[in-house]
Amino acid sequence: MLLDDVHARMTEAPEAVAVQDGNLRLTYRGLATHASRLATELVERGVGPDSVVAVYADRSAELVVGELAVLLAGAAYLPLDPAHPPARIAQLLALSGAAAVVTTGPLARGETSLPGGSLVVDLTERAPDRPMAAPLRPDPDTLAYVIYTSGTTGRPKGVAVTHASLENLLGWHRRTYQLRPTDRTTLLISPGFDVAVWDTWPTLAAGGTLVVPPAEVRASPPALAAWLADEAITRTFLPTPLAEAVLDEPWPAHTVLRVMHAAGSALQRGVPDELPFTLVNLYGPAECTVGVTTTPVLPGGPVPPPIGVPIDGVRCYVLDGLDPVPDGEVGEMYLAGECVARGYLDDPATTAAVFVPDIGAPGGGCTGPETRSAAGPTASSSTSAGTTTRPRSAGSGSSPAKWPSC
């Protein structure tokens, strides 16, 4: 599991860099010891399985330490983006019933009012010079993290994702992309956007390095393309508008980027013939653990590109009510399998309305409808428990799901 993988990487290569944040190089030893010390403080405050702990930090080494500490304490982390208004931060703290808040010194002294006794990640302090104990193995059904929706259609909903769902994503990611300790991944996405999960944990589980881009780089496609090459980034995720803009930049000869993932809104363009890396179109609502379908975008392929086929552990249905629609007909996409979150935190009524029984696996659950989509050709998909399903890839006429802003 994730914590076992991170512990193994720390044991194998403690001086390897886990997070590069400006001039800071946080090693796996430093990450583990700072997170372990903070986890101990959380446990002493009564934090445990299914407790929710808010991590209020920007893209940074402190963010990663805080999130890992919460997982080591056996709790679920709730990332809060400091770019959001203080009123939203206060609202999410209240809705989540957060048992504690982890933050940084500057943010603790900032304008946003945080609960008294917030724990501060201070990487300037010397971490205790002792080995990280082997982490306890969490129950697969306990919560790993909570992500709140934007709330544009009403009260924000806290999507509660279990360790089992997270492990399903990490396992597929490991098999598909074969990340190695030499890989360098961007930590570019807003902490409050669930795709940050996609970048952070597969990289650390593989012993790679997370690299935080400067704010001015994130805002400039030419600067970002140059920075990705100069920093020898091998894997990145970009929100769709930024990905579309950066594709047309001249890519330096020393670019080593292998994969760029894009999501957040419907991809509206193809890729140039000489692109030195693979662009992967990713689709998935937060309720289904970040991503449920992917496809490489190839030169000369359909525009807009399709959203692809399901990843392992995901079943996709295109339905009219609860009846599968024929190929070529329009229906609503329902998602099922190991990817499906537990539900919405402390909101049983909305959970019951959205998380419905899985028509293909008695006793299972699925979410839907997520989007109206034009059913494309039947696509192959992994199924669980021997269940036969009829997943389809959504064609270019798909309406995008509503993702939080990144």
Cα separation, 170 vs 59, in Å, equals 21
Cα separation, 221 vs 244, in Å, equals 9
The pLDDT, as a whole number, for residue 129 is 66
User: What element of type H or E holds 245?
Assistant: helix 240-246
The pLDDT, as a whole number, for residue 382 is 28
The pLDDT, as a whole number, for residue 2 is 94
With b for 16 or more beta-carbon neighbours within 10 A and e for fewer, the 226-240 pattern comes to: bbbbebebbbbbbbb
Residue 230 CA: distances (Å) to CA of 164, 203, 224, 245: 37, 19, 10, 19
Residue from 104, 76, 103, 80 nearest 92 by CA: 80
Cis peptide before 276 (omega within 30 of 0): no
The pLDDT, as a whole number, for residue 401 is 28
* Cβ-proximal residues to 296 (8 Å cutoff; 6+ apart), any chain: 278, 279, 280, 281
Cα separation, 234 vs 258, in Å, equals 5
Contact criterion met (CB below 8 Å) for 68 and 30: no
Residue at token pair 């064609």? 395
Neighbours of 93 (CB within 10 A): 20
* Cβ-proximal residues to 283 (8 Å cutoff; 6+ apart), any chain: 263, 291, 292, 293, 294, 307, 308, 394, 400, 401
Cα separation, 136 vs 96, in Å, equals 24
The pLDDT, as a whole number, for residue 365 is 63
Residue 359 DSSP symbol: T
Residue 400 DSSP symbol: P
The pLDDT, as a whole number, for residue 393 is 28
What amino acid is encoded at 387 in this protein? T
The pLDDT, as a whole number, for residue 132 is 64
Sign of CA dihedral 302, 234, 249, 403: positive
Q: Which residues of the chain have pLDDT under 50?
A: 370-406
Residue 342 DSSP symbol: -
What is the DSSP code string of 192-237? TSTHHHHHHHHHHHTT-EEEEPPHHHHT-HHHHHHHHHHTT--EEE
* Cβ-proximal residues to 399 (8 Å cutoff; 6+ apart), any chain: 266, 371, 372, 373
Q: How wide is the angle at C-alpha 252 spanned by C-alphas 250 and 258, nearest 5°?
A: 100
Residue 49 DSSP symbol: T
What amino acid is encoded at 145 in this protein? Y
For the chain, the structural domain boundaries read 2-138
Q: How wide is the angle at C-alpha 50 spanned by C-alphas 44 and 54, nearest 5°?
A: 70
User: What element of type H or E holds 144?
Assistant: strand 143-148
Contact criterion met (CB below 8 Å) for 89 and 78: no
Q: Where are the beta strands (DSSP E) in 209-310?
A: 209-212, 235-239, 259-263, 278-283, 293-297, 309-310
The pLDDT, as a whole number, for residue 113 is 86
The pLDDT, as a whole number, for residue 396 is 26
What is the DSSP code string of 94-138? HHHT-SEEEEEHHHHTSSS---TT-EEE-TTSPPPSSPPPPPPPP
Class (C level, CATH) for 2-138: alpha beta
Contact criterion met (CB below 8 Å) for 279 and 244: no
